[in-house]
Amino acid sequence: MYPDTPHTITTPTPWNPPQTRAGQPVILPAEIPPGVDWVTLPNGVRTLAYTQPTAPQPVPVTAPQPVPAWAKTTALLAPTVGGGIAAGGIGLSYAAPGLIAMSHALWSAAALVVAAVIAVPVLLRTARRATSNGTDVGQGGGSTHITQNITATGLFGRANGTIHQR
């Protein structure tokens, strides 16, 4: 130990309890009985004393709040929307074969329209050539040419035209 220290430092153990200045043993916190607690007196001395048990503070009970209208509306709409989505999914699963057949039919119709757009002008051109070459029976050779001249004066002027046939 240090020679200038006026007291000795010891650790409390069950066989070596700590001593106070008056030579009395100190009670360890685990040995304090219920209803006894450390109390600080007005002159600053800490001592053990019997204490009154403090009742726990009651938790203030708040009145139940009413459920807001938007929450009720949302709660009622959620199963409705979910049911609608489920019904749509079931309907699509039943309609899938028909939808596939309709898509094939639409592609066929689109191919028919494209073929018609290409075939009709080709047929008309072939028919005109046959007519202009005189191959049709009852038609004299040649075709009729019409020339039209249209004139107008000003932006909103009246248009006049002449037609010449050869």
Tokens read off for 60: 């203030």
pLDDT band at 5; cut points 50, 70, 90: very low
Q: How far apart are CA 10 and CA 16, in angstroms?
A: 8
Look at 16-25, 53-62, 84-93, 128-137 and tell me which has the smallest mean pLDDT: 16-25
pLDDT band at 101; cut points 50, 70, 90: very high
CA–CA–CA angle 19, 24, 28 (5° rounding): 65
Q: Which residues contact 140 (CB under 8 A, 6 or more apart)?
A: 134
pLDDT tens, 29-47?
777 788 788 788 888 787 8
Tokens read off for 134: 């005189």
pLDDT tens, 108-147?
999 999 999 999 989 988 888 877 665 545 555 566 777 8
Residue matched to tokens 């070459």: 133
pTM of the predicted model over 0.75: no
Tokens read off for 59: 């938790």
pLDDT band at 2; cut points 50, 70, 90: very low
Look at 23-37, 82-96, 137-151 and tell me which has the smallest mean pLDDT: 137-151
Q: Which residues contact 46 (CB under 8 A, 6 or more apart)?
A: 38, 39, 40
pLDDT band at 8; cut points 50, 70, 90: very low
